[in-house]
């Protein structure tokens, strides 16, 4: 039976230490990242895994481990910005080796989980992540995608959406903010061999938990890209983390899908979609773009893009059905 | 000089010697990326893994940055973890080299010394190791393949000592040692296994009953204290090295120390150097001694922590000291020279001292060069503030 | 908290007290305070699920059903996400200034 949150509440109650991440962390009010960490860890614990987590430098890392404090009650390692995948490759291999040497019991059921932001994933950490996936380390890599270098004050990343106003790609008189399209990171990771890759949204906990479960039980590396609203730099109310996530799914901005060994599956197909403008309008980061005289033109292009991408996803689902590469 | 029993020895390259030390150590995890001239170490070791000679799990990483990152993860997890590299590879690791030391992870890494670009060059000098001299790693330098083998084994014990807990670089000269064949006396496998023992685990990540946090954000209120601990750990390394060396002598009959004096008893002119060049220096010492010159040599086995007291002990009161550096520090004195000169500040009778940079990018150093530097010292022709070059065209 | 000297702390920057962050009370950041009307509350657990600060206090009743109890004000930063996700509007965000007397 799939894990559900009522059952989780029954299990964990108010004992966050049993989940793995506890109170007293210093992430901004309403931050999406601790919710993503909590969803992931609760699922792992509920399934009987012993989580060991690795963090890339970023919001979640700095705010949870300000020495001598730590918000983690599971083993935790942060090494640097670009190398959480390599670091966790080492941790996972150590466990494998120590089992082989007979120094730890064979039946220890670890869940090696890496958490990284978009900077540590799309940009500086992409090589290390690709290496980890290519080598087949059994690590679940969870991207909390807040779509920019938010820890350092909203700089552009490869995960920043088109038209978003950031400090290094600001909306100016000539240039309308970021002009490039966000990398399709799940497709990049999903294009490796023998990997499970998926998108997730906190606005759909059941889908989120199911994907974590699938990832942890997957015989190989797995990757989950979870949209992580940043209240501060998406310029949204602290309370809007979930509602904006929901809008992202409903407007095709953040389609929920997975790639399991080459097989695409769209895990949520809303009957009706909302126009993309609703997602954009809900956030102050798009306000400078939307105030431009050419706003309509740009928004139309973006709408066209998400429509096409959705059609393409459905086509890929159809084309790859049951055609597992391995 | 090392006494190697030629009957018990095997002619091998430095790379093969080091790879065999690693085979006997049998670490839990080796993560490595090939780079000339370190490549044969990784190749030999990969073959041991492929043939099931060792149980080690090997991670064929996609870069040196990931090699160091993975061994940091593995060591933190509680495994004995090793890697090896050279030059640009070491430079790419640089960021994590510091993190390994400050996380107090006893990783042992043979470094096959090669010139750090640019322009790109694959041959020996010490610019790679010198770029890491303030990283918090213990740095040992081998003169011969035998030493590279021995120091790799010895380094495990030093690194993992509970009062030390620091990573160690075992430096061996690129091509000269790594690809040069010399006789090496191998210890029996079981003797090495017993010597290195099982790793002592300190805060292993896989102990989920006692979860620890590695690598927190350490600000102005505690960072300084953690750095002070690293200073102390280096002091401990200095105190414990003779003990570990003594134990190694018991199993091998080979004696290691911070430095190795060569014909120093009555020497008035002493040359100081790191690595394989010491063999050439010893040859020149013998040659010049035959001519009646009171020359000698002081080989530095341990560069970090820097054995200042030993240097002072051996160099105090000599007429002159010549320091050979296989790397330059642009805009400042060469690294070894700077350190020796600084150590001699406290000497009661300060010798004259001169700096010679040689062998950059693998430029050959020949006995005549060394003799020339000795003759400068003997003739009173040393200038403390002048950096000279051996084997350089004007 | 008195700062410790270098001889008193674990080596390597390791923190060996899991969950020590609980000694740091983020509740002082709060501008808006969530107040729950337990008469309206259906104990659906959405607030518990979403709270980014793990600041929802719950219990499990004799029927093995999780029950909303209230908020851990030592940690609640007042983001209001609980109120936003509450399907029956049982949580109201009130200015912290209203509680200054307490």
Judging contacts by C-beta atoms under 8 Å, the chain C residues touching residue B211 are 18
State the first-to-last Cα distance of chain B, in angstroms, to the nearest integer: 36
Average pLDDT over residues B70-83: 98
Instruction: Using CB atoms, pick whichever of A83, A98, A101 lies closest to residue B69.
Output: A83
Q: In this predicted structure, what is the pLDDT of residue B291?
A: 98
Q: In this predicted structure, what is the pLDDT of residue A64?
A: 98
- CB-based contact, A128 to chain B, within 8 Å: yes
Residues on chain B bordering chain C, Cβ-to-Cβ distance under 8 angstroms: 102-105, 165, 202-203, 210-216, 218, 221-222, 225-226, 228-229, 232-233
Average pLDDT over residues B276-280: 98
The answer on pLDDT for B4 being more than 80 is no
The answer on pLDDT for B117 being more than 80 is yes
Confidence of residue C100 (pLDDT cuts 50, 70, 90): confident
Q: Could you report the per-residue pLDDT of B201-227, keeping only the tens digit for each?
A: 999 999 999 999 999 999 999 999 999
Per-domain boundaries in chain C: 26-99
Contact C77, A34 (CB under 8 A): no
Tokens 């009743």 correspond to C61
Taking an 8 Å cut-off on Cβ atoms, the answer to whether B214 and A77 are in contact is yes
Judging contacts by C-beta atoms under 8 Å, the chain A residues touching residue C57 are 14
Average pLDDT over residues B120-140: 98
Tokens 């998400």 correspond to A306
- CB-based contact, A61 to chain B, within 8 Å: yes
Taking an 8 Å cut-off on Cβ atoms, the answer to whether A93 and B59 are in contact is yes
**Close Cβ partners of B78 (under 8 Å, ≥ 6 residues apart):** A94, A98, B199, B201, B204, B205, B206, B207
Contact A198, A225 (CB under 8 A): yes
Instruction: Using CB atoms, pick whichever of C52, C64, C66 lies closest to residue A30.
Output: C52
Q: Which is it for strands C32-36 and C91-95: parallel, antiparallel or unpaired?
A: antiparallel
- CB-based contact, C1 to chain B, within 8 Å: no
**CATH match for A5-320 among 3.40.50.970, 3.40.50.740, 3.40.1410.10, 3.40.50.1220:** 3.40.50.970
| Cis-peptide, bond into residue A88, ω within 30° of zero | no
Q: In this predicted structure, what is the pLDDT of residue C102?
A: 54
Q: How many CB atoms lie within 10 A of CB B14?
A: 32
CA angle B167-B126-B393, nearest 5°? 175
Average pLDDT, chain B: 97
Q: In this predicted structure, what is the pLDDT of residue B2?
A: 61
Q: How far is B198 from chain C (nearest CA, A)?
A: 21
Helix (H) or strand (E) segment spanning residue A6: helix A5-12
Average pLDDT over residues B84-105: 98
Judging contacts by C-beta atoms under 8 Å, the chain A residues touching residue B69 are 79-80, 83, 86-87, 89-90, 128
Q: Could you report the per-residue pLDDT of A36-49, keeping only the tens digit for each?
A: 999 999 999 999 99
* Cross-sheet strand order for the sheet of A140-145: A263-266, A257-260, A196-201, A222-227, A140-145, A110-117, A50-55, A76-78, B213-214
Helix (H) or strand (E) segment spanning residue B214: strand B213-214
Q: Could you report the per-residue pLDDT of C54-83, keeping only the tens digit for each?
A: 999 999 999 999 999 999 999 999 999 999
Nearest C-alpha neighbor of A256 from the set A291, A288, A293, A227: A227
Q: In this predicted structure, what is the pLDDT of residue B384?
A: 96
Confidence of residue A3 (pLDDT cuts 50, 70, 90): confident
Per-domain boundaries in chain B: 9-197+219-252, 259-390
Interface of C with B in 10-69 (CB under 8 A): 10-16, 18
Distances (CA, A) of A253 to A18, A116, A276: 34, 21, 7
Residue A193 main-chain phi, psi, to 5 deg: -85, 145
Most A CBs within 10 A among B27, B32, B59, hence the mutation to make, goes to: B59
Average pLDDT over residues B127-136: 98
Q: Could you report the per-residue pLDDT of C25-49, keeping only the tens digit for each?
A: 999 999 999 999 999 999 999 999 9
User: Can you tell me the distance from the alpha carbon of B390 to that of B384, in angstroms, rounded to the nearest whole number?
Assistant: 16
Average pLDDT over residues B91-104: 98
Please, what CATH class does the domain formed by C26-99 belong to?
alpha beta
**Which chains have 3 or more CB–CB distances shorter than 8 Å to chain B?**
A, C
Confidence of residue A78 (pLDDT cuts 50, 70, 90): very high
Residue B214 has, within 13 A of its CA and on its CB side, a CA count of 36
Judging contacts by C-beta atoms under 8 Å, the chain A residues touching residue C85 are 242
Q: Could you report the per-residue pLDDT of B223-247, keeping only the tens digit for each?
A: 999 999 999 999 999 999 999 999 9
Taking an 8 Å cut-off on Cβ atoms, the answer to whether A30 and C19 are in contact is no
The answer on pLDDT for A181 being more than 60 is yes
* DSSP labels, A28-75: PTT-SHHHHHHHHHHHHHHTT-EEEEEE-SSHHHHHH-BTT---BSS-
ipTM exceeding the 0.90 mark: yes
Instruction: Using CB atoms, pick whichever of A68, A241, A243 lies closest to residue C20.
Output: A68
The answer on pLDDT for B72 being more than 70 is yes
Nearest C-alpha neighbor of B99 from the set A82, A306, A307, C92: A82
User: Can you tell me the distance from the alpha carbon of B214 to that of B105, in angstroms, rounded to the nearest whole number?
Assistant: 11
Average pLDDT, chain C: 96
Q: Could you report the per-residue pLDDT of B135-167, keeping only the tens digit for each?
A: 999 999 999 999 999 999 999 999 999 999 999
User: Can you tell me the distance from the alpha carbon of A270 to that of A274, in angstroms, rounded to the nearest whole number?
Assistant: 10
The answer on pLDDT for B79 being more than 70 is yes
- Residue A73 CA to its chain's centroid (Å): 21
Judging contacts by C-beta atoms under 8 Å, the chain A residues touching residue B222 are 67-68
Q: Which is it for strands C56-60 and A257-260: parallel, antiparallel or unpaired?
A: unpaired
Residue B181 main-chain phi, psi, to 5 deg: -90, 130
In CATH, the architecture of B9-197+219-252 is 3-Layer(aba) Sandwich (3.40)
The answer on pLDDT for A286 being more than 90 is yes
- CB-based contact, A50 to chain B, within 8 Å: yes
Please, what CATH class does the domain formed by B259-390 belong to?
alpha beta
**Which chains have 3 or more CB–CB distances shorter than 8 Å to chain C?**
A, B
3-state secondary structure of B172: strand
Q: How far is B72 from chain A (nearest CA, A)?
A: 7
Provide the 8-state DSSP code for B217: B
The answer on pLDDT for B3 being more than 70 is no
Query: Exposed (0-12), middle (13-18) or buried (19+): which is A304, by Cβ within 10 Å?
Result: exposed
User: Can you tell me the distance from the alpha carbon of B255 to that of A57, in angstroms, rounded to the nearest whole number?
Assistant: 45
Taking an 8 Å cut-off on Cβ atoms, the answer to whether A23 and C53 are in contact is yes
Q: In this predicted structure, what is the pLDDT of residue A14?
A: 95
Per-domain boundaries in chain A: 5-320
Q: How far is C65 from chain A (nearest CA, A)?
A: 7
Taking an 8 Å cut-off on Cβ atoms, the answer to whether A68 and C9 are in contact is yes
Instruction: Using CB atoms, pick whichever of B202, B211, B226 lies closest to residue C13.
Output: B226
Taking an 8 Å cut-off on Cβ atoms, the answer to whether C11 and B102 are in contact is no
The answer on pLDDT for B1 being more than 90 is no
Confidence of residue B374 (pLDDT cuts 50, 70, 90): very high
- CB-based contact, C2 to chain B, within 8 Å: no
């Amino acid at each position: 039976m799939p894990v559900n949150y009522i059952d989780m509440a029954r299990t964990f109650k108010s004992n966050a230490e049993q989940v793995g991440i506890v109170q007293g962390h210093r992430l901004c009010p309403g931050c999406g990242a601790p919710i993503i960490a909590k969803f992931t860890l609760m699922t792992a614990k509920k399934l009987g895994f012993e989580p060991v987590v690795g963090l890339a430098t970023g919001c979640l890392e700095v705010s949870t481990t300000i020495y001598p404090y730590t918000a983690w009650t599971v083993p935790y390692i942060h090494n640097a910005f670009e190398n959480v995948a390599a670091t966790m490759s080492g941790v996972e291999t150590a466990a494998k080796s120590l089992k082989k040497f007979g120094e730890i019991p064979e039946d220890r059921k670890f869940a090696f989980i890496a958490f990284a932001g978009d900077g540590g994933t799309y940009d500086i950490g992409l090589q290390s992540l690709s290496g980890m996936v290519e080598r087949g380390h059994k690590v679940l890599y969870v991207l909390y995608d807040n779509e920019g270098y938010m820890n350092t004050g909203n700089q552009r990343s490869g995960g920043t959406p088109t038209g978003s106003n950031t400090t290094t790609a600001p909306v100016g008189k000539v240039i309308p903010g970021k002009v490039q399209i966000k990398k399709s990171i799940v497709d990049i990771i999903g294009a490796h061999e023998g990997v499970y890759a998926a998108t997730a949204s906190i606005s759909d906990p059941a889908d989120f938990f199911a994907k974590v479960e699938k990832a942890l039980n997957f015989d190989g590396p797995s990757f989950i890209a979870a949209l992580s609203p940043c209240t501060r730099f998406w310029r949204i109310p602290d309370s809007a983390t979930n509602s904006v996530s929901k809008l992202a799914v409903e407007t095709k901005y953040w389609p929920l899908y997975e790639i399991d060994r080459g097989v695409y599956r769209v895990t949520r197909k809303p009957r009706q979609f909302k126009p993309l403008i609703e997602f954009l309008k809900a956030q102050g980061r798009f306000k400078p773009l939307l105030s431009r005289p050419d706003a309509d033109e740009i928004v139309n292009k973006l709408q066209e893009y998400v429509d096409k991408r959705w059609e393409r996803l459905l086509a890929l689902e159809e084309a790859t059905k049951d055609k597992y590469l391995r | 000089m090392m006494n190697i029993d030629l009957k018990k020895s095997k002619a091998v390259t430095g790379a093969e010697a080091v790879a065999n030390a690693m085979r006997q150590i049998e670490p839990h995890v080796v993560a490595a990326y090939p780079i000339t001239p370190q490549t044969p170490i990784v190749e030999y070791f990969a073959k041991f893994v492929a043939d099931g000679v060792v149980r080690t799990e090997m991670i064929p990483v996609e870069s040196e940055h990931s090699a160091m990152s993975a061994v940091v993860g593995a060591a933190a997890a509680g495994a004995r973890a090793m890697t090896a590299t050279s030059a640009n590879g070491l430079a790419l690791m640089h960021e994590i080299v510091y993190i390994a030391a400050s996380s107090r992870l006893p990783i042992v890494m043979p470094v096959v010394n090669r010139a750090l670009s640019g322009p790109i060059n694959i041959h020996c000098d010490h610019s790679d190791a010198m770029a890491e001299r303030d990283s918090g790693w213990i740095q040992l330098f081998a003169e011969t393949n035998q030493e590279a083998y021995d120091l790799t084994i010895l380094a495990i014990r030093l690194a993992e000592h509970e009062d030390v807990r620091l990573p160690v670089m075992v430096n061996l000269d690129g091509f000269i040692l790594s690809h040069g064949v010399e006789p090496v006396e191998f210890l029996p496998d079981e003797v090495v296994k017993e010597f290195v023992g099982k790793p002592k685990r300190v805060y292993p990540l896989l102990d989920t009953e006692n979860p620890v946090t590695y690598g927190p954000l350490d600000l102005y209120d505690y960072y300084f204290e953690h750095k002070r601990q690293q200073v102390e750990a280096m002091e401990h390394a200095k105190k414990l090295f003779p003990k570990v060396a003594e134990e190694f002598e018991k199993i091998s009959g080979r004696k290691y120390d911070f430095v190795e004096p060569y014909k120093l008893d009555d020497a008035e002119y002493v040359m100081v150097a790191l690595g394989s060049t010491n063999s050439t220096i010893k040859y020149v010492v013998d040659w010049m001694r035959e001519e009646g010159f009171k020359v000698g040599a002081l080989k530095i086995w341990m560069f970090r922590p820097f054995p200042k007291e030993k240097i002072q002990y051996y160099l105090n009161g000599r007429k002159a000291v010549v320091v050979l550096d296989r790397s330059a520090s642009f805009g400042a004195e060469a690294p070894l020279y700077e350190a020796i000169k600084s150590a001699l500040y406290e000497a009661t009778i300060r010798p004259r001292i001169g700096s010679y940079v040689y062998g950059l990018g693998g430029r050959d150093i020949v006995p005549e060069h060394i003799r020339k530097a000795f003759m400068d010292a003997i003739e009173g022709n040393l200038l403390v503030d002048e950096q000279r070059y051996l084997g350089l065209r004007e | 908290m008195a700062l410790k000297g270098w001889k008193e702390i674990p080596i390597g920057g390791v923190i060996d007290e899991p969950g020590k962050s609980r000694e740091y009370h983020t509740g002082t950041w709060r501008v808006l305070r969530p107040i729950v009307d337990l008469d309206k509350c259906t104990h659906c657990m959405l607030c518990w699920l979403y709270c980014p600060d793990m600041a929802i206090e719950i219990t499990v009743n004799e029927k093995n059903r999780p029950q909303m109890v209230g908020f851990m004000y030592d940690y609640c930063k007042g983001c209001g996400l609980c109120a936003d996700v509450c399907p029956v509007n049982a949580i109201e965000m009130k200015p912290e200034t209203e509680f200054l007397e307490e």
